[in-house]
Amino acid sequence: MKIYDDRSKYHGAKDVWDIKELVFRDLCRKAGVREDDFHLAFSAMLSGDAQDFYLENLVERNLGFQTMAELTKEQFETDERKNDYLAYWHKASLPLTKEKNPDKSILGCFEILCKELRMC
């Protein structure tokens, strides 16, 4: 748990599950946690709303990692959220990013746009 910083944790609606799961798996391997024991470390990857969901719905149910992961992902990664990301993807542009960040160079705005699109 000491190697997990809050930025790496899954917070719920504002994060992308697949990315946070990759971080979790990588950190577990580095810490020597076997895949069979991922369910025991599951709560370490959560923060905020996702941690609240875990405590209210999953704790002490004796579920495996995959089941907890699927239930958590279903809770936060809804069709509405996917549609919001898709809408953002279609309207995102370098000129719009520059308009929102007038103090940044074109290169800086391009980097911002790339980072935002990767998150979608």
Residue 1 is assigned to a structural domain of this protein:
no
67 and 113 fall within a common domain:
no
66 and 86 fall within a common domain:
no
Give tens-digit pLDDT for 55-102.
999 999 999 999 999 999 999 988 787 777 778 888 889 999 999 999
39 and 98 fall within a common domain:
no
85 and 71 fall within a common domain:
no
At 118, list the tokens. Answer: 């990767």
Strands (E), the chain: none
Measured in whole angstroms, how far is the alpha carbon of residue 90 from the centre of its chain?
21
User: What does pTM read for this prediction?
Assistant: 0.71
pLDDT at 116 > cutoff 90? no
Give tens-digit pLDDT for 32-56.
999 999 999 999 999 999 999 999 9
Residue 51 is assigned to a structural domain of this protein:
yes
35 and 65 fall within a common domain:
yes
Answer for the pair 24, 9: CB distance below 8 angstroms, yes or no.
Answer: no
90 and 69 fall within a common domain:
no
User: What residue numbers bound the domain in which 27 lies?
Assistant: 6-77
57 and 109 fall within a common domain:
no
63 and 97 fall within a common domain:
no
Q: Residue 1: its pLDDT value, please?
A: 65
